[in-house]
Structure 1
Amino acid sequence: MESHTKRRRVAGPVGGGDPGPNPVVGFLSWCRQVGLELSPKVTVSRQGTVAGYGMVAREDVQPGELLFAVPRAALLSQHTCSVGSLLEREQGALQSESGWVPLLLALLHELQDPASHWSPYFALWPELGRLEHPMFWPEEERHRLLRGTGVPEAVEKDLANIHKEYCSIVLPFMEAHPDLFSPRVHSLELYHQLVAVVMAYSFQEPLEEDDDEKEPNCPLMVPAADILNHLANHNANLEYCTDCLRMVATQPIPKGHEIFNTYGQMANWQLLHMYGFVEPYPDNTDDTADIQMVTVREAALQRTKVEAERLCLFERWDFLCKLEMVGEEGAFVIGWEEVLTEEELTTTLKVLCMPAEEFREFKDQNGWGDDKREEKSLTITSIPKLTASWRQLLRDSVLLTLQTYTTDLKSEQELLNNKEVYAQLSWREQQALQVRYGQKMILHQLLKLTS
């Protein structure tokens, strides 16, 4: 699930206990007991991996080959844990915005029990006190290193939600069942750590088209699968079958090479926020830069001269909100080769730039419905061909976005090019620099295209 890894693995057991002489041996023995079948062509190892435990090919592997299969009984979830029946009975009281409370309670219960069925699996987890998610960075450091990237805002929302969820649901539940939850797990700090683990290591089974959308898609802990590190250019993929989950090779994997999974298209800021690592520039082909929707509104406001023009602009913005094309906390997402929010950005540029009479007609017809007249396809390659007013508004928005960072592209380029100086940066400084630099490179590409 990572490359300079999705989640930076750290040696040591959960809570700092004694994992035994070799946790891998214990884990592999547990795998055999639960029917988790690993191909003889792969091995779990700390050697030959980008970080911590990973999986390495012992022999050449061809596309389509099965690397391992995890029976559903070996998945750790709210249903398979030892307090599953209680969590099922109390599910109404455990509803939360995240949907993770039942799994987190399952983990809290299993982790406190030295004789837990899952103990050999936990032995390969990172040490909880050394997780590198930005939620564990000091607030000052987080804002200083990651301002403008979107990470501080995401972390602040996480911390507020975690605190609310723990105090209103989790702690009362544990206190109501003192026979099942030791006081030593009544800790907001531990809960923070387990949220980070679930964020980084859990999987969610894709919903089928005919699934009832009201049924929650609960997270699962998938032993063996969560050992794999992440790359955008991954060489393995997890398949969900009726009786098991299968990890299958998608590319040739030479002997001695690491096996990588993916969680999908993840920008570096998302990787750092959710998993505590980034892929160094230019490895992450899925990297993106965000332009806040309100920044485009601000750029458009800069071009107004009188109050009437400002009022007209806000009318257009309100109409875009009604169409659900923009929102106060939304963002337009720009990748290296595509605009991921093409419809939203196209409509916004069109509405904010169209003549007044055309806007009246557009509004009267509620967005013209299926009528595609005057519609422009917004792709990265088509940006230079956009109407001049569209390009200028987009350019002004990019310039405002670049002002939100505390450093400029040139100074960061110099840091990256000076290997000696870069090596002296702390690990967090390096990760944050990679996030900022990748985003700014995408934004500067937009500047060139809109000039």
Structure 2
Amino acid sequence: MMDVDSLSQSFMAWLSNSGAEISEKIQLTDLREKRAGRGVVAIKDIEEDELLFRIPRSLILSVENSDLPSKIPTVFADLDPWLSLILVMLYEYEKGKDSKWDAYFDILPKEFNTLMFWGQDELAELQASAVLEKIGKEEADYTFQEKLLPIIAEYGDVLDIDHTDEADVQVLLKRMHTLASTIMAYAFDIEPVDGKKDVDEEGYVSEDEDEALPKGMVPLADMLNADADRNNARLFYEVDSLTMKALKPIKAGEEIFNDYGPLPRSDLLRRYGYITDNYAQYDVVEISFDTAAVVMEKSGVSSSGLHSKIDYLESQGVIEDGYIISNGSPFDIQESIAPELIVLVEALLLTDGEFDRMAKREKLPNPEKISTKGARIIREMVVARMKEYATTLDQDIANSPTLDMVDSENIRQHRYAMAKLVRIGEKKVLKAAFEALARLIEKLGTKNKASPAGDAAGPAKKRQRTQ
């Protein structure tokens, strides 16, 4: 079996021989000692905006570039971009040396450290983190069995995949999970040639729009590790190719980093199987609707006509499964607490008459104005959310792990450490929210003493748009 360096060299040779343009100033390097797998490193100084590599669109491992759709054309109409790419990758993988992407498959990981592959004892270390609800292993199993296995059964001769007994099926399901994790960690949303996408002022597109885009594996582009602070390269979409360019000067010996965008460490762990401190700035915690409802009921929020009120608020996009509270330095209520949560509380605090008049005008409370009572209720939601974790923030910090000190061979302890850091980050967000709400309550109380007629905060800093 070829070693890591030999596989990397074969992969790079395949790219060059297939029409890719690769700068002589970069090198694909084994970074496993840093727990980073492979990575791309500068071996000579690189200038800003300099070409690092150009990958022809024809080399993207995608539904469009595989010959499978031409063999079973009716199948892909009913599959979403994720399942379509999984099916294509299964097919190309089984082709082995006959696949154009054989050298590419050789360097893709065979195992993952993502939450999908954690044991129950390891997942338990995440305690009450909402990320546990996003793993979706059972849902994925069901989807694979309902959507992909029937296709394999019908077109087994085309796909050349054996599934004659239960053992074969279990092997297939495991491979599908591995491929799905590969796509989650490595695939790109492939923009169409015209490149027309609606983006916000920060350059990000909506999740719904990204979900609708076809997925594709972009060789070499996906070998770049990501770093929120040291991002120094970016992928650009061109008519016939995808081009990686330097965003700033890069010195010889420095690693070349892409950026995943503002992902909290919980999602970094779920999607990529690792965490890093410089993504702590994006940490979030969710307060479920159920938790919010229980707190409001205990706080004496009127239940009169509650179902019709909830129906109206749902029609206005206020009702969510979970309400995000995001990190901030300094923590700002208007920027960090989901406006939908503020609107929910303030709307349900209205009298029946006030609510009816608001609904007739198809209006909602202003999330930039929080009443004293509303701030107290949201603070109680934060307290209730804190209690959902099995340990306190102080207890976790007292035994806070350092990932660099964890034995690299002890994967379970490493996972425990990452899980603890994730939950510490979430609890820090909750603590910051509690303290900010306490300050606001005190401020509103002082204001109300001076002016008894007022019970709401005045105009506040406008919440920034988020991805």
Q: What is the TM-score normalised by the length of structure 2? A: 0.80
| Paired residue secondary structure (2:282) | coil
Provide the residue aligned with 2:267 in structure 1. Answer: 270
1:246/1:330 CA distance change after superposition, 3 Å: same
Residues 72-118 of structure 1 show CA distances to partners (whole Å, capped at 9, x for unaligned) of: 011000121242412544323x424xx32221111111212231221
Shift of 1:294: 2.9
1:381-400 correspondence to structure 2 within 5 Å: 386-400=370-384
* Structure 2 counterpart of 1:177, one-letter code: Y
Partner of 2:107: 124
Q: Distance in 2 between matches of 1:181 and 1:436?
A: 44
Partner of 1:36: 20
**Map of 1:421-432 to 2, 5 A cutoff?**
426-432=413-419
Partner SS for 2:46: coil
Distance in 2 (alpha carbons) for counterparts of 1:170 and 1:388: 53
Residue 175 of structure 1 pairs with residue 159 of structure 2: no
Residue 8 of structure 1 corresponds to none
Once residues 417 and 28 of structure 1 are traced to their aligned partners in structure 2, the CA distance between those partners, rounded to angstroms, is 38
Give the Cα–Cα distance (whole angstroms) in 2 for the partners of residues 162 and 418 of structure 1.
Answer: 33
Map of 1:208 onto structure 2: 196
1:199 partnered with 2:184: yes
Deviates more, 1:332-341 or 1:389-398: 332-341
The correspondence for 1:448, drawn from 435, 439, 459, is 435
**Which AA in structure 2 matches 1:429?**
Y
Counterparts of 1:443 and 1:63, CA distance in 2: 40
Shift of 1:140: 4.2
Q: Secondary structure at the match of 1:254?
A: coil
Say whether the 8 Å CA contact 1:334–1:340 is kept in structure 2: yes
1:178/1:363 Cα in 2 relative to 1: closer, same or farther (>3 Å)?
closer
Deviations 1:347-384 (A, max 9, x none): 2232133344432321222226xxxxx73537xxxxxx
* Counterpart residue type for residue 90 of structure 1: V
Q: Aligned partners of 2:285, 2:339: CA distance in 1, in Å?
A: 17
Cross-structure match for 1:3: none
User: 1:105 is aligned with what amino acid?
Assistant: L
* Rounded Cα–Cα distance in structure 2 between residues aligned with 1:27 and 1:320: 54
User: What is the CA distance between 1:55 and its match in structure 2?
Assistant: 0.5
Shift of 1:141: 3.2
Give me the identity figure in percent. Answer: 26
TM-score (norm 1): 0.82
Corresponding letter in the other structure for 1:202: A
SS in 2 for 1:54: strand
Corresponding residue number in structure 2 for 1:285: 281
Amino acid at match of 1:276: G
Deviation, 1:209, is 4.3
**Residue type at the aligned position of 2:432:** Q
More displaced stretch, 66-75 vs 422-431:
422-431
Any residues of structure 2 matched to 1:272-351 within 5 Å, and which? 272-280=269-277, 283-304=279-300, 309-327=302-320, 329-336=321-328, 339=335, 342-351=338-347
Quote how far apart the aligned CAs of 1:314 are.
Answer: 5.0
For 2:413 and 2:121, the matched residues in 1 are separated by: 15
Aligned partner of 1:258 in structure 2 is: 255
Name the structure 1 match of 2:96. 114
Q: Deviation at 1:230?
A: 1.4
Please report the RMSD computed on the Cα atoms of aligned residues, expressed in angstroms.
2.9
- Structure 2 match to 1:243: 240
After alignment, is 99-108 or 221-230 more displaced? 99-108
For residue 86 of structure 2, what is the amino acid of its counterpart? L
Please tell me the residue identity of whatever aligns with 1:375. Answer: N
Deviation at 1:242, TM superposition (A): 1.1
Given that residues 297 and 317 in structure 1 are in contact (C-alpha distance below 8 angstroms), is that contact kept between their aligned partners in structure 2? no
Give the direction of change, closer, same or farther, for the CA distance of 1:284–1:141 in structure 2 (3 Å limit).
closer
Structure 1 gaps of 5+ residues are 1-16, 369-373, 379-385
Distance 2:381 2:36 in 1: 38
The whole-number CA distance in structure 1 between the counterparts of 2:380 and 2:18 is 58
C-alpha contact 2:52 2:245 (8 A) present in aligned 1? yes
Which SS does the other structure have where 1:426 is aligned? helix
Provide Cα deviations, 1:46-71, integer angstroms capped at 9, x if missing partner: 14865110011112333322211111
Return closer, same or farther for 1:286/1:66 CA change in 2, 3 Å cut-off.
farther
Query: Given the alignment, which residue of 24, 37, 41 partners 1:56?
Result: 41
- SS of the equivalent of 1:304 reads coil
2:426 equivalent among 439, 442, 448: 439
Aligned to 1:14: none
Aligned length: 409
Shift of 1:148: 1.3
Decide whether aligned partners of structure 1 residues 209 and 394 sit closer, same or farther in structure 2, where only a CA change above 3 A counts: same
Give the match's secondary structure for 2:399. Answer: helix
Question: Partner letter of residue 286 of structure 1?
Answer: Y
Cα 1:145/1:288, change in 2 over 3 Å: same
Do the aligned partners of 1:82 and 1:110 also contact (CA within 8 Å) in 2?
Answer: no
- Map residues 396-407 of structure 1 onto 2, 5 A cutoff: 396-407=380-391
Over 3 Å counting, the alpha-carbon distance change for 1:90 and 1:356 in structure 2 is: closer
Instruction: Determine if contact 2:401/2:417 at 8 Å carries over to the other structure.
Output: no
Within the candidate set 354, 375, 395, 2:366 is matched to 375
**Cα separation, partners in 2 of 1:208 and 1:419, compared to 1, 3 Å:** closer
- Residue 41 of structure 2 aligns to a residue whose secondary structure is strand
Return the offset for 1:25. Answer: 0.9
